[in-house]
Structure 1
Amino acid sequence: MSNIVSKTARDYAQLAQRAYTTPPLIGAEASAARAIVEGNAVAFPGTNNVACWLADLDAATVNEPGYGTLHAGYRRAFCSIQGPLSLLPPPDVTVGHSEGAALAILFAAALCQARRPPKEVYAFEPPRVSADGTLAALFAAHGVAVHIYRNGEDVVPLVPRVLHAWQHPAPVIPIGKASLPVPNVEDHFINHVVAAL
């Protein structure tokens, strides 16, 4: 009999929640990118400091071979910890909430490029990272299951909205009941995501 316990989306949402309070193994607490490791998963917290807000607001694009057209702020934030992340054993799962979900997607893409793809990505309430279909094709080519969740009417998975054909690398999975009947930030909080799952 196997001792392996199957994890659910709620388990991974709780891991994303713990990433906010657990000291980072990778990156500095006050930086735009940091990560924790639990078992076979690497998790990234979302926006909770000035550096994160600056990354969120840097919605210019950068063209990266193999990755396509990306959100410049998230790409820069990810690059700041890519070296230390590459020294970890390849995880089976990358996880994040909000800006952290964007970083989880980019880490999974980097693992695919390194021919060490994860099995799954759990992205809770991510902003859009890509302005073309390159990331979606990369994940499909490597058999990575990408789970993108949007709670209620959370506005964050709808941004950025202007200038480019911003998109997610997989269909968005709706969960929960909206706090308000219009796009809002109340539905974005990780504790609401955990409750919805």
Structure 2
Amino acid sequence: MNARDYALLAQEAYSAKPDIGIADSASRAIVRQTADGLCIAFRGSDDLDSWLHNLDSVPVSVTGMGAVHRGFHCAWSDMSAGIIGAIGDKPVTLIGHSLGGAICLLAAAALTLAGKPPVAVWAFEPPRVSFDMTLRVLLSHVPLHLWRNGSDPVPDLPLGGVHPGLLTHIGKSATLIPSISDHLLQNLIPNLPAA
């Protein structure tokens, strides 16, 4: 599978009924068996509960993870048992867009702390999930694929936060100022490499 395939799974997470979690919440994901193995894709923000979790950006200290975004951590914690149960001992690839990308990064951290790191993480236009370098060190041996399209402002939020890995920049900015249209998956997917 390639970057576009994973982005299409992230897109499917918005329209498919969640296999784990509650449909009208920030905590929901789909589980798919692919040519590359088990994949879990976390849905991004498309309802009030998701936006409330996005805005709850107060740092909270989590053992082994350091200072992380409280709203994202709460969204992950609310479905962590279901995700861990779905994975069992199988290798897994984690995928997400926006809020879903932030949650998949925290899921990767939790799995790594449990001695079951994911095969890879594909986070499309994720906001920053931590406020120190603990996650970057923890996930240093996990293949992280973090993507930013054009002048999307979401990966620059929240202020003071950091990403656990480097972002791959794709696409050209449509304007000189940050553009939320660059954040939409349908605008990102055509800019991703097909191989």
Q: TM-score range by the shorter chain?
A: over 0.9
Q: Report the TM-score when normalising by structure 2.
A: 0.93
Partner of 2:5: 11
Native 8 Å contact 1:42 1:91 kept in 2: no
Which structure 2 segments of 5+ residues have no match?
none
Q: Secondary structure at the match of 1:87?
A: helix
Partner of 2:93: 93
1:35-85, Cα deviation, whole Å (9 max, x unpaired)? 001111100110000000000000111001100100000001110001111
The root-mean-square deviation of aligned C-alpha atoms, in Å, is 0.9
Q: Distance in 2 between matches of 1:37 and 1:91?
A: 13
Select 2:163's aligned residue among 148, 165, 168: 168
Partner of 1:177: 172
Deviation at 1:170, TM superposition (A): 0.4
Deviation at 1:176, TM superposition (A): 1.0
Select 2:191's aligned residue among 177, 181, 196: 196
1:121-144, Cα deviation, whole Å (9 max, x unpaired)? 00000010000111111112xx21
Size of the aligned set, in residue pairs, is 186
Pairing 1:76-91 to 2, within 5 Å after superposition: 76-89=74-87, 90-91=90-91
Deviation at 1:24, TM superposition (A): 0.3
Deviation at 1:183, TM superposition (A): 1.1
1:187 aligns with 2:182: yes
Partner of 1:21: 15
From the superposition, tell whether residues 32 and 19 of structure 1 become closer, same or farther in structure 2 (CA, over 3 Å). Answer: same
Query: Which structure has greater strand proportion?
Result: 2
Native 8 Å contact 1:101 1:124 kept in 2: yes
Which structure 1 segments of 5+ residues have no match?
1-6
Pairing 1:55-66 to 2, within 5 Å after superposition: 55-66=53-64
Q: Report the TM-score when normalising by structure 1.
A: 0.92
Runs of 4+ in 1 over 6 A off after TM superposition: none
* Amino acid aligned to 1:130: S
Identity of aligned residues (%): 41
Q: Secondary structure at the match of 1:15?
A: helix
1:32 aligns with 2:26: yes
